[in-house]
Amino acid sequence: MMNAQVLFPVNVPGAFDYRVPAEMSVQRGDFVFAPIGKQMKLGVVWDIVEDDGTRTLKDIAGIKAAQPLSVDMLKFAAWTSAYNCVSLGLVLRMIIRSYKALDPSPVVTQFSPSGILPAKMSPARNAILELGGPFPARASEIAQRAGVSAGVVRSFEKAGGMTAQSLAVDRPFDLPVSDYGGMDLTPAQKNASDDLIYQVAQRDFNVSLLDGVTGSGKTEVYFEAIAEALKDGGQALVLVPEIALTQASMSRFKSRFGVEPAPWHSQLPDAQRRRVWREAAQGRAKLVVGARSALYLPFPKLRLIVVDEEHDTSYKQEEGVIYNARDMAVVRAKIAKHSVILASATPSLESLVNARTGRYAHVILPERPGAVTLPDINLVDLKDHAPEKGDYISMPLIEAMNTVLTRGEQAMLYLNRRGYAPLIICRNCGEKLKSPDTDSWLVEHRTTGRAMCHQTGFSMRMPKACPECKAEETLVPVGPGVERVAEEAARHFPEAKIEIFSSDTSGNPADIAARMARMEQGEIDILVGTQMVVKGHNFPHLTFVGVVDGDLSLAGGDPRAGERTYQTLVQVAGRAGRADKPGHALIQTHQPEHEALAALEAGDRERFISAELALREALLLPPYGKLAAIIISGPDKAKAEAFAKKTVSLAPRAEGVEILGPSEPPIGRLRGMYRRRILVQSEDSVNLSKYMRTWRGRIKVPNKYKLHIDIDPQSFM
């Protein structure tokens, strides 16, 4: 007799043992039904072991007729759980994104024109043929497009004008064609693509850092590597940091491979989610483009993962299962023995050091193709060029914008602050409006007339009176957001067509695509945006970028602040001058002497990298050391503090490990929970994940309190 260890997609640390009935045959990765408590639950066979006869076990009740998870996928789930110190069941839940995807596609009756016209053709029937497509489609879909009733469609079929078929609702994705739209590459691009093609063709684990300046053609280069991966039925996954990029990049993939890839992101409707999951699991979705969670789709024939904009912090999942998709992509490739390409104009220092020490292949694109040059970047010292009182755009930016608009070109203003103003204060009593139960200021959003918390999503109508002193007309906005910058730009350029691009205004993926199309076609004169404008967009008429606050990301205690500032400003400046006209960028700052900003103006990346790496090495920060964090939260401030101190007292003793804290983070209370943060720093030789797991095993978390472990934290809020 054999026993099966069954893992359920719930918050449990491991699998439960069940007896396998004699008449049943199961294997690792099978989806099975098994009783747990008084319920019947769906789980996954984690392992098969011999029955030693010492225990009475419940039987597995049945096997789900679905594609099993591969052994490599089980290993990847186990590695994710162990490294990130999260329960194995939660990782499984992250993998099984759609239970309906485990079933075959629903089948419905769909209609198509038969090619035969009945003797009696009414205007409604003509409308079906002219407007009801694309076919085949359900009667309700045809009727809606044609402006008729579903009954008219069915009667038309009975009369012979339509044919009815029982077809699957979830159709297979069209297959990409490797040699459909090969592009003419420059010699530098061809050399880079040959390097990447060679790596993919090895059909073994390898990592390449594609390090190319903005506008150098990194996408076109890694397309050739994707084409190699798709040969003989292989699958490829492209990770992008934002949903907006998932939508915006579809047309480029279609031009190269003849079809749009399968998309995967959090805004997909359930029906599309089950379709993509099922087709990926069956090996039929050959090319998937998605946000970080796409990494946990169960591809059986994956040969390449591309992590585009690999430096981007959006790849870090901050809630639930806390993980970094860039790092986990490398792990998945190592387990399944395939290739990874990390692509960026501003690689993370961790990836750059790995490439320079030989752990990764280093593929470099040092220039833009043809006569296209990188934009000139200059700093505007706000101590010398202060904007007018109450304004935030300095005269050098105004003059530069006037120049490009006069030439019929486009300008962009960048500020990574949503809304109208980041702070609302009462000038009568000094009260600052905060979110209920959260130490976060409310942000004024003038376009919607609301005050919002960007931490919790809390929103209320903008009050007319101060909630504290009740004085009316005393609440004033402090500081700029993109709405306020756009308002100021409209005063200076009243004839210009100005639009705002941020997560508040982006809408659904179709809205994002429409706005980006207007920008690409020159229908927008000035685009005012947050970090959403930085990533991967190509605007051929954009020749000037103005950064309203170049110091914004330098604030706070983030050890990567300098690196992130440099990366962001290089990326945003790189939007300018990507076609045949030269670009120019101006960055407003109060700290022109800062190493990141000075290196940016000098165009000397190596100067910044050398200085930053020397500092990291001296302080034992990544990539020369390791970091982890413990975040404790609970409803009582004093008890949360006491629990945090007790947690520190339970820490294992180990050489090369230093514990800092507990301390109150910048947001000390969130959603009514008081928070404390413990930072753990170790030498690079320490297995910090194992250390944190050992520490976690000593801690009993009180009721109503939470403890989260964050390996290699990216946020310190």
pLDDT surpasses 90 at 420: yes
Percent of all residues in the chain with a pLDDT value above 70, rounded to a whole number: 97
pLDDT surpasses 90 at 576: no
Please report the pLDDT score of residue 374 as a whole number: 77
Task: Look up residue 329 and give its two tokens.
Answer: 């992509």
Please report the pLDDT score of residue 268 as a whole number: 86
Please report the pLDDT score of residue 244 as a whole number: 63
CATH topology (fold) of 187-365? Rossmann fold (3.40.50)
2-96 is classed CATH 3.30.230.10: no
615: confidence class by pLDDT, cuts 50, 70, 90 = very high
What is the radius of gyration, based on Cα positions, of the chain?
A: 28
Which helix (H) or strand (E) segment is 212 a member of? strand 206-212
Alpha-carbon distance values, 707 to 645, 653, 703, 704 (Å): 13, 20, 11, 10
Please report the pLDDT score of residue 322 as a whole number: 95
Please report the pLDDT score of residue 19 as a whole number: 93
Residue 710 CB partners (closer than 8 Å, separation 6+): 318, 322, 628, 629, 630, 631
Contact 58, 21 (CB under 8 A): no
Task: Look up residue 561 and give its two tokens.
Answer: 């602040």
CATH topology (fold) of 625-711? Alpha-Beta Plaits (3.30.70)
109: confidence class by pLDDT, cuts 50, 70, 90 = very high
Please report the pLDDT score of residue 531 as a whole number: 84
Residue 310 CB partners (closer than 8 Å, separation 6+): 209, 326, 342, 343, 344, 347, 348, 351
Q: Residue 622 phi/psi, 5° resolution?
A: -55, 140
pLDDT surpasses 90 at 412: yes
Each as own residue / partner, the long-range contacts of residues 161-164 (CB below 8 Å, 24 or more positions apart, any chain) are 161/113, 161/114, 161/116, 161/117, 161/118, 161/121, 161/125, 161/128, 161/129, 162/111, 162/112, 162/113, 162/114, 162/128, 163/111, 163/112, 163/113, 163/114, 164/109, 164/110, 164/111
pLDDT surpasses 80 at 506: no
Neighbouring CB atoms inside 10 A of 617's CB total 13
Segment 613-626 shows an average pLDDT of 93
Please report the pLDDT score of residue 556 as a whole number: 66
Please report the pLDDT score of residue 516 as a whole number: 82
Please report the pLDDT score of residue 98 as a whole number: 86
- Distance between start and end Cα atoms, the chain: 53
Task: Look up residue 163 and give its two tokens.
Answer: 């044919």
What ranges do the domains of the chain cover? 2-96, 107-168, 187-365, 376-417+480-613, 625-711
Report d(CA 287, CA 280) in Å as an integer. 9
Say which CATH architecture domain 376-417+480-613 belongs to: 3-Layer(aba) Sandwich (3.40)
540: confidence class by pLDDT, cuts 50, 70, 90 = confident
CA angle 115, 117, 120 (to 5 degrees): 160
Q: What is the number of residues in the chain?
A: 717
pLDDT surpasses 80 at 74: yes
Sign of CA dihedral 639, 651, 663, 623: negative
Please report the pLDDT score of residue 362 as a whole number: 97
Place of tokens 């110091």: 551
Among 78-92, 196-210, 539-553, the least confident range? 539-553
Across 209-218, 338-347, 516-525, 576-585, the highest mean pLDDT is recorded for: 338-347
Percent of all residues in the chain with a pLDDT value above 90, rounded to a whole number: 74
pLDDT surpasses 90 at 53: no
**One fold for 376-417+480-613 and 625-711:** no
Please report the pLDDT score of residue 247 as a whole number: 61
Sign of CA dihedral 91, 93, 98, 103: positive
Among 121-125, 154-158, 284-288, 537-541, the least confident range? 537-541
155 — alpha (psi -120 to 50), left (phi > 0) or beta?
A: alpha
CA angle 263, 252, 366 (to 5 degrees): 115
pLDDT surpasses 90 at 97: no
pLDDT surpasses 90 at 406: yes
| Residue from 413, 414, 418, 421 nearest 503 by CA | 418
Residue 153 three-state SS: helix
Among 222-226, 274-278, 294-298, 535-539, the least confident range? 535-539
Please report the pLDDT score of residue 230 as a whole number: 96
Average pLDDT, the chain: 92
pLDDT surpasses 80 at 499: yes
Place of tokens 């204060």: 425
Tell me the H-state helices in 425-540: 482-492, 509-520
Sign of CA dihedral 484, 587, 612, 325: positive
Tell me 715's DSSP state: -
SS (H, E, C) 262-320: EEECCCCCHHHHHHHHHHHHCCCCCEEEECHHHHHCCCCCEEEEEEECCCCHHHEECCC
Pairing of strands 542-547, 410-414: parallel
